[in-house]
Structure 1
Amino acid sequence: MSFKNSILKSVRHAAIFATVMMTSVAAFAHAHLESATPGINATVSGQPQAITLNFSADVMLMNVKLINAQGQAIPLTYQISNELKKSFQIPVSTLTTGKYTVQWSAMGKDGHNMNSDYSFSIQ
């Protein structure tokens, strides 16, 4: 292998390494749900007044649904806003005992869409 080919090979490896590192950093930069109230997989004894979603960075909350154990959607009064923030509080109506699933979708400042869900139970 010639000296020129060796240098080109080294440059190519460095470019691949830099691309992988930048992609990894970008993946970790996306916002995620840090905590919620009621807590993720929590069992609470009383009626929650609201669902609070706390994100790791400012996001626009695009949608949030509350689903009971029978798969029925519980009406929420959340309306989409263009406001970017880390914490959202969504009032809830009276809930009975049982398991509930919170489904949410959000968009980060970078336009990255994310969605997930979590469950909690009321005794």
Structure 2
Amino acid sequence: MNLRQHFSTSLRSIVLASAVAVAATSAFAHTTLQSASPAINATVSTQPTKLLLNFGEPVMLMNIKLVDTQQKNIDLNYKVTSDLQLAHTVALPALPDSTYTVIWTTMGKDGHNMSGKYNFTLKQAQ
């Protein structure tokens, strides 16, 4: 094999490997939390009445938890549905001032689970 044939074979291999890598990345890409209310890392001064989670693609909200700074679970009374939605709203009970962590798990239409968490702080005006 001369140098030109070797170069051509190597170039084809690199192009093929790159195409496979891009296809694999797209196939395994999962949607992420795009925005939330209360906002991610926000400090809010008024009692929030709901959590609103906005995702990049329709997902089922499989689980959602809210914990305070002492890791105490706040009952959200959330019921799982099989609805694929871009946005999910969950009612909140009255909350005392604290920093809260929202922990969520979703399932995409491809059946893959995704999870994440974010914080917000409630500090009501006195």
TM-score, structure 1 normalization: 0.89
Aligned equivalent of 2:53: 53
Q: 1:115 Cα shift?
A: 0.5
Name stretches of at least 5 consecutive residues in structure 2 with no aligned partner: none
**Greater mean deviation of Cα atoms: 62-71 or 3-12:** 3-12
**Greater mean deviation of Cα atoms: 90-99 or 2-11:** 2-11
Q: 1:16 Cα shift?
A: 0.7
Structure 1 ranges of 4+ moved more than 2 A: 1-14, 23-27
The CA RMSD over aligned residues, in Å, is 1.6
Task: Say yes or no: does 1:95 pair with 2:95.
Answer: yes
Which aligned pairs between 1:83-122 and structure 2 lie closer than 5 A?
Answer: 83-122=83-122
Q: 1:12 Cα shift?
A: 2.2
SS of the residue corresponding to residue 17 of structure 2 reads: helix
CA distance in 1, matches of 2:110, 2:91: 28
Q: Aligned partner of 1:17: which letter?
A: S
SS of the residue corresponding to residue 27 of structure 2 reads: helix
Aligned equivalent of 1:24: 25
Aligned equivalent of 1:14: 15
**Greater mean deviation of Cα atoms: 8-17 or 56-65:** 8-17
SS of the residue corresponding to residue 79 of structure 2 reads: coil
Q: 1:108 Cα shift?
A: 1.0
SS of the residue corresponding to residue 93 of structure 2 reads: coil
Name stretches of at least 5 consecutive residues in structure 1 with no aligned partner: none
Q: 1:25 Cα shift?
A: 3.0
Q: In the comparison of the two structures, how many residue pairs are matched?
A: 122
SS of the residue corresponding to residue 46 of structure 2 reads: coil
Q: Aligned partner of 1:32: which letter?
A: T
CA distance in 2, matches of 1:38, 1:23: 34
Q: Aligned partner of 1:52: which letter?
A: L
